[in-house]
């Protein structure tokens, strides 16, 4: 096997890494899932608990995965092999690679919907459109959804095959600023609509009487899932960090930027929802492809702003997708000694094929049901309810009890920065994080099976 420590690429700038890691975290979970989960849980009260969960659970896990990658300069499997040789702990890294593979297979399908809606917006959103039927007609097709799934995977493969610096870093340095600018444009348009103040009040003025046990569960789950934790992406990106990078500060920048984008997405959506529709903010996942086009149809220059939104959503999806594909490709390059471009194409094609059943789940395979889920939701449930939390839980246990929290803190603190990884880290990663993830995982699975 080649000497990866000699040939491995590194991020050439700190900004490049931060934007790449934040891009991995910023995806459909921020622009699509966060607003509807917030709406379902009462708005501002959920936002308050979510921010606490980000600090107590998301940040220490981000530090953990980033440090594991930087220390070993390896993919998730190689990282655990290096720190716990001749033990089964490498299987945790293997779970991360598998999770990235599964998530990207159906993530690409949904991202393909977003690409298609860019062109639907260009065709015009008008109040008379039956938006529910438009969406149903799209996803129940066969050729068209597969085509957009293929286009999105081709874009992802193209970025990854170019490498860490020329591919990922160059792409995110362009895409992330564009994403931010488009989001600001949508926020300005949303806040200047008549009646926007009611949506702003719902989103930013907490009513703590709305808080339930489910609110805490959803906040912890969203904080965990939105940061791309438990799937090997941050370990992989951390492996391209140089020795002079400060982990504590870099992790804070990534977590902060991801959280900022999620909060901004809510600012773009809720004022417009309250101003232009009588749809409840807890309308669920349909907010993106049914409710929001209806909102844009009622808005001056609505098709233009709809176009901006779906470009924004597609960019967010792409920045996450490249990190998911990179996890699997890095494993193939490191562990199987396959050349990067060849690995990107082979792995990408396999993932595309595995993603075809979720497409057919709304047409030819619409009769499929697993625990009441269709094909795409089955993929999502397995990945998000089992693989992701299990990977995060075992990573926290490994860092806290096997490699030892003190060793990880020393590695993270090698280069001084504003944030010092102190005793608080050990308490969080050994006790708070595992318990919180375990509770969310067990309750989520139990609720599904009951």
* Maximal CA-CA distance, the chain: 64
**Predicted confidence (pLDDT) per residue in 433-448, tens digit:** 999 999 988 988 998 8
pLDDT at position 227: 84
Q: Write the DSSP symbol of residue 210.
A: G
Q: Which CATH superfamily is domain 4-449 in?
A: Amino acid/polyamine transporter I (1.20.1740.10)
What number is the average pLDDT over the span 163-186? 87
| pLDDT for the residue numbered 408 | 95
With vertex at residue 360, the alpha carbon angle to CA 356 and CA 363, rounded to the nearest 5 degrees, is 165
Closest CA to 261 of 19, 4, 437: 19
Residue partners of 410: CB distance under 8 A and separation at least 6: none
pLDDT at 278: 63
Whether the Cβ atoms of residue 53 and residue 219 lie closer than 8 Å to each other: yes
Q: Which residues contact 349 (CB under 8 A, 6 or more apart)?
A: none
- Residue 284: what pLDDT? 52
- Higher per-residue pLDDT: 275 or 342: 342
Contacts of 382 (CB under 8 A, 6+ apart): 102
Q: What is the mean pLDDT of residues 116-120?
A: 94
| Burial zone of 349 (CB within 10 Å; 0-12 exposed, 13-18 middle, 19+ buried) | middle
Domain layout of the chain by residue ranges: 4-449
Cα gap 53→216, rounded to integer Å:
9
Give 339-362 pLDDT, tens digit per residue: 999 999 999 999 999 999 999 999
- Res 1 pLDDT > 50: no
More confident position, 189 or 34 = 189
- How much is the mean pLDDT over the chain? 88
pLDDT per residue over 297-310, tens digit each?
Answer: 888 888 898 899 89
In the structure, what pLDDT confidence band is assigned to residue 226 with cuts at 50, 70 and 90?
A: confident
């Amino acid at each position: 096997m080649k000497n990866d420590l000699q040939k491995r690429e590194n991020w050439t700038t700190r900004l490049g890494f931060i934007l790449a890691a934040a891009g991995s975290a910023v995806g459909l979970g921020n622009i699509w899932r966060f607003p509807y989960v917030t709406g379902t849980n009462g708005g501002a009260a959920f936002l308050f608990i979510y921010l606490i969960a980000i600090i107590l659970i998301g940040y220490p896990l981000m530090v953990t995965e980033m440090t594991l990658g930087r220390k070993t300069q390896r993919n998730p499997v190689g990282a655990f092999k290096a720190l716990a040789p001749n033990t089964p702990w490498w299987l945790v890294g293997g779970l991360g690679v598998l999770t990235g593979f599964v998530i990207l297979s159906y993530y690409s399908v949904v991202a393909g919907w977003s690409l298609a809606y860019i062109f639907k917006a260009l065709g015009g959103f008008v109040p008379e459109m039956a938006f529910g039927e438009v969406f149903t007609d799209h996803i129940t097709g066969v050729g068209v959804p597969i085509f957009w799934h293929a286009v999105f995977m081709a874009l992802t493969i193209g970025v990854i095959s170019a490498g860490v610096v020329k591919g990922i870093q160059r792409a995110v340095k362009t895409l992330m600023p564009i994403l931010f600018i488009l989001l600001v444009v949508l926020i300005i348009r949303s806040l200047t609509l008549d009646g926007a103040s009611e949506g702003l009040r719902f989103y930013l003025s907490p009513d703590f009487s709305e808080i339930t046990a489910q609110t805490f569960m959803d906040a912890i789950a969203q904080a965990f899932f939105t940061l791309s934790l438990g799937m090997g992406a941050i370990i992989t990106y951390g492996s391209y960090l140089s020795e002079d990078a400060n982990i504590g500060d870099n992790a804070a920048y990534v977590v902060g930027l991801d959280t900022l984008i999620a909060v901004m997405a809510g600012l773009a959506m809720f004022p417009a929802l309250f101003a232009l529709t009588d749809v409840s903010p807890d309308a669920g996942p349909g907010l993106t492809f049914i409710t929001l086009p209806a909102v844009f149809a009622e808005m001056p220059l609505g098709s233009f702003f709809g176009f901006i939104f779906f470009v924004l959503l597609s960019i967010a999806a792409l920045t996450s997708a490249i990190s998911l594909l990179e996890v699997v490709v890095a494993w193939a390059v490191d562990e199987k000694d396959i050349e990067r471009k060849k690995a990107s194409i082979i792995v990408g094609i396999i993932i595309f094929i595995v993603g075809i059943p979720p497409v057919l789940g709304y047409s030819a395979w619409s009769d499929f049901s697993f625990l009441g889920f269709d094909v795409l939701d089955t993929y999502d449930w397995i990945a998000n309810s089992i693989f992701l939390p299990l990977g995060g839980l075992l990573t926290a246990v490994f860092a806290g009890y096997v490699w030892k929290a003190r060793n990880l803190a020393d590695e993270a603190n090698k280069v001084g920065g504003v944030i010092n990884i102190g005793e608080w880290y050990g308490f969080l990663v050994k006790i708070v994080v595992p318990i919180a993830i375990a509770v969310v995982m067990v309750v989520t699975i139990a609720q599904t099976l009951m």
